[in-house]
Amino acid sequence: MSPTYDVVVIGLGGMGSAAAHHLSARGARVLGLEKFGPVHNRGSSHGGSRITRQSYFEDPAYVPLLLRSYELYEELERATGRSIATLCGGVMIGRPGSRAVEGSLRSARQWDLPHEMLDAREIRRRFPTLTPQDDEVALFERKAGFVRPENTVAAHLQLATGAGADLHFEEPMTRWEPCADGVRVHTAENTYTAGQLVICPGAWAPRLLTDLGVPFTIERQVMYWFRPGTGVAPFRPESHPIYIWEDAAGAQVYGFPAIDGPDGGAKVAFFRKGAECTPETIDRTVHDDEIRAMADHMAERIPALPGAFLTAATCMYTTTADEHFVIARHPAHPESVTVACGFSGHGFKFVPVVGEIVADLALTGATGHPIELFDPHRLTAAPAAAPAL
């Protein structure tokens, strides 16, 4: 007889591991299936650090979710004793009117979030490694900082296992189909039945969610680590913020304090700007011209940073047309399937709250969290019919 579960979770990366934790904490019998090993580096949830912030320039609708995510990150640290979130402060830098500055300010004002506006001179005074142009300004948020993706995934896996979830690694789902009481899920080794299916596929969304009808673009993204010419001391998180820095053309670069050990240097990356790829075709080699371009870009903004190139790594974004997430009951299978995907390069800070939302949807069919923005119908809607002549 095939094993039976309340919920099968596909993908145990950022979102799926959080979903497995929240589901099993509520008493559901959970099976998690993951294509690779625990906490791997072939998806979107690796690289040592992710920015977190509350004055969200993407849309003020994200703020209540961020506030909840912050609470859940704290709970996760308490429950597992792992170091996960560090609020070292953050600056969103750009010209007045830029998305990074105006969008952040809009969210801060709408939700009454503590923040300060800094002119170029004040940015240089407070954060001497940063050398903005005279016409650049910043929104400073003390509660911005970074979370550790590998520790987050490991913590969620640990709690899920502790609550009795069965987590199977190196066992990808090959296909699934609806059945009388829910779903039947196949792998090369076995067939499982469950009342509910949760699909958190990361960059495999185009393959696993063909019947969702949502177009996703998979983008290759590169993270670069440099050892500052000054040594790491001025870049320590006790005094150095995370930053998102938008140029006159609207391109954004972001980075972290030096948090990866004495020789780990400080990480920087472009936000978006990645070549289209698939999980199978992604070029994992980081080329000299890319490293030079990043070093030149940073030299104008943080002259001490591109002292010595240390290493680089690739990662994937799964981007929707409007860069907002997809979190919903599957429109084609509303009784039994929940999807969480299309995190468009900014999902990690939401991982714990996405786990909570997915558990709500899978176990009760609804959530109290505001997720209207993430409805897949917005991306699948047929064009309006031409007016009759």
What is the C-alpha separation between 162 and 180, in angstroms, rounded?
31
Phi, psi for 352 (deg, rounded to 5): -65, -40
> Of the two residues 207 and 377, which places its CB atom closer to ligand FAD in the complex?
207
Q: Which residue has the tokens 């196949």?
A: 186
In the complex, least distance from residue 382 CB atom to ligand FAD, rounded to whole angstroms: 27
Residue 55: name the closest of 106, 119, 117 by CA.
106
Burial pattern 37-46, b for ≥16 Cβ within 10 A else e, equals ebbbbbbbbb
From the list 46-54, 61-69, 280-288, 371-379, the region that binds ligand FAD by CB under 6 A is: 46-54
| Interface with ligand FAD, residue 169, by CB under 6 A | no
From the list 54-62, 67-75, 124-132, 203-211, the region that binds ligand FAD by CB under 6 A is: 203-211
Q: Are 149 and 82 in contact (CB under 8 A)?
A: no
| Interface with ligand FAD, residue 13, by CB under 6 A | yes
From the list 115-123, 300-308, 309-317, 375-383, the region that binds ligand FAD by CB under 6 A is: 309-317
CB atoms within 10 A of CB 383: 5
Residue nearest to ligand FAD (CB): 13
Q: Interface mask (CB under 6 A) for ligand FAD, residues 69-108, using x and -?
A: ----------------------------------------
Q: Interface mask (CB under 6 A) for ligand FAD, residues 332-361, using x and -?
A: -----------x-xxxxx------------
In the complex, least distance from residue 135 CB atom to ligand FAD, rounded to whole angstroms: 26
Q: Give one DSSP letter per residue of 241-297, joined into a string.
A: -EEEEE-TTS-EEEEEEE-S-TTT-EEEEEES-PPB--TTT---PPPHHHHHHHHHH
3-state secondary structure of 149: helix
| Interface with ligand FAD, residue 201, by CB under 6 A | yes
In the complex, least distance from residue 206 CB atom to ligand FAD, rounded to whole angstroms: 11
Q: From the list 7, 8, 10, 362, which residue makes contact with ligand FAD (rule: CB under 6 A)?
A: 10
Q: Which residues, 263 to 302, sit near ligand FAD by CB under 6 A? A: 269
Residue 115: name the closest of 102, 125, 131 by CA.
102
Tokens describing residue 338: 């929940």
3-state secondary structure of 380: helix
Q: From the list 316, 326, 327, 337, which residue makes contact with ligand FAD (rule: CB under 6 A)?
A: 316
Q: From the list 317, 320, 352, 358, which residue makes contact with ligand FAD (rule: CB under 6 A)?
A: 317
Contacts of 289 (CB under 8 A, 6+ apart): none
3-state secondary structure of 80: helix
Q: Are 129 and 235 in contact (CB under 8 A)?
A: yes
Tokens describing residue 87: 């609020």
> Of the two residues 62 and 127, which places its CB atom closer to ligand FAD in the complex?
62
> Of the two residues 201 and 241, which places its CB atom closer to ligand FAD in the complex?
201
| Interface with ligand FAD, residue 148, by CB under 6 A | no
Tokens describing residue 234: 């001025």
Q: From the list 21, 35, 115, 301, which residue makes contact with ligand FAD (rule: CB under 6 A)?
A: 35
Q: Which residues are annotated as a binding site?
A: 6-36
Tokens describing residue 301: 């903004």
- How many alpha carbons fall within 13 Å on the CB side of residue 124? 11
Q: From the list 16, 89, 195, 255, which residue makes contact with ligand FAD (rule: CB under 6 A)?
A: 16
Q: From the list 8, 23, 30, 173, which residue makes contact with ligand FAD (rule: CB under 6 A)?
A: 173
What is the C-alpha separation between 286 and 309, in angstroms, rounded?
12
| Interface with ligand FAD, residue 44, by CB under 6 A | yes
Q: Which residues are annotated as a binding site for FAD?
A: 6-36
Q: Which residues, 205 to 224, sit near ligand FAD by CB under 6 A? A: 208, 221, 223
| Interface with ligand FAD, residue 312, by CB under 6 A | no
Residue 152: name the closest of 54, 345, 11, 18 by CA.
18
Q: Which residue has the tokens 């009951």?
A: 329
> Of the two residues 12 and 363, which places its CB atom closer to ligand FAD in the complex?
12
| Residues near ligand FAD, by CB under 6 A | 10-16, 33-36, 43-45, 47, 50-51, 172-173, 200-204, 208, 221, 223, 269, 315-317, 343, 345-349
